[in-house]
Structure 1
Amino acid sequence: MGHDGSTPLTAALEDSEWLANLGGSPPPNPAVHLQQAVRITPSVYRESTRQVVDNLQAGRVVILDLAASEHETAARLIDFCSAFTLATRGLMQQLTSTVIVLTPPAGAAN
């Protein structure tokens, strides 16, 4: 726990929300939202980052379920996904305390 009582996961989620609000988000692509989403339940950091990148680059929505992940791994994944979606102009939204939805940028491969 951090000095303010937050867990690494909570702190990473707060940082991600702050980063997402820095720049204007691109308008949503309706075609992306009509596709089937891919659910990833990470256990290994490196393998999970590859799955996220591969699916987002293929134009798929990714549901990242961190409920079974260790807090440190979950926090690292949130940091990675936050930076990746920011760099590629994708979107990242928190659905629950342990579920994150990542949307590829408009124009991603379909």
Structure 2
Amino acid sequence: MRKRDERPALRAGIAWAEHAGTTPLAAALEDSEWLARLGGNLPPNPAVQLQQAVRLSPSAYRESTREVVENLRAGRVVILDLATSEHETAARLIDFCSAFTLATRGLMQQLTSTVLVLTPPSSSAS
């Protein structure tokens, strides 16, 4: 287990993950957890309005990133179901979503091995 401020080893993508005996999806999730620990001193508000949640089952990377960004900017919670996505696409989406939520002070949490919940920074319970 890495320390909070310890940077992960540089990886050469999918070939690295297969050589290391892990999947690209597992490597991307590990990296996203490390990025989440680097967040600022003020944690985002994890309270959400469930009526504003949007469920996405991505198949194409480019279209999915656009949908994630549009929904998070509109203040909606995004439930990202990666069960039907290819492993490489899922790994890229996890990398993108972890970086986007970090940059916008949102929150990304893993519910199951294939389902992630992304919340915008301004989410609040009503």
On whether the aligned pair clears a TM of 0.5, the verdict is yes
Q: Deviations over 1:62-89 (max 9, x none)?
A: 0000000000000000010011001100
Which blocks of at least 5 consecutive residues in structure 2 are unaligned? 1-16
Structure 1 vs Structure 2 CA RMSD: 1.7
Task: Look up the match of 2:78.
Answer: 62
- The amino acid across from 2:23 in the alignment is T
Task: Look up the match of 1:34.
Answer: 49
Q: Does 1:95 align with 2:100?
A: no
Q: Which structure has the larger Rg?
A: 2
Give the whole-Å Cα distance in 1 for the aligned partners of 2:46 and 2:114.
25
Q: Runs in 1 of length 4+ with deviation above 3 angstroms?
A: none
Q: Is the 8 A contact 2:44 2:121 kept in 1?
A: no
* SS of the residue 2:19 aligns to: coil
Task: Look up the match of 2:34.
Answer: 18
Residue identity over aligned pairs, in percent, reads 76
Count of residue correspondences:
106
Which blocks of at least 5 consecutive residues in structure 1 are unaligned? none
Q: CA deviation at 1:22?
A: 1.1
Q: Deviations over 1:19-76 (max 9, x none)?
A: 001124524164xx12321000000111100110000000000000000000000000
User: TM-score of the superposition, structure 1-length normalised?
Assistant: 0.88
Give the whole-Å Cα distance in 1 for the aligned partners of 2:86 and 2:61.
10
Task: Look up the match of 2:7.
Answer: none
Give the whole-Å Cα distance in 2 for the aligned partners of 1:74 and 1:5.
18
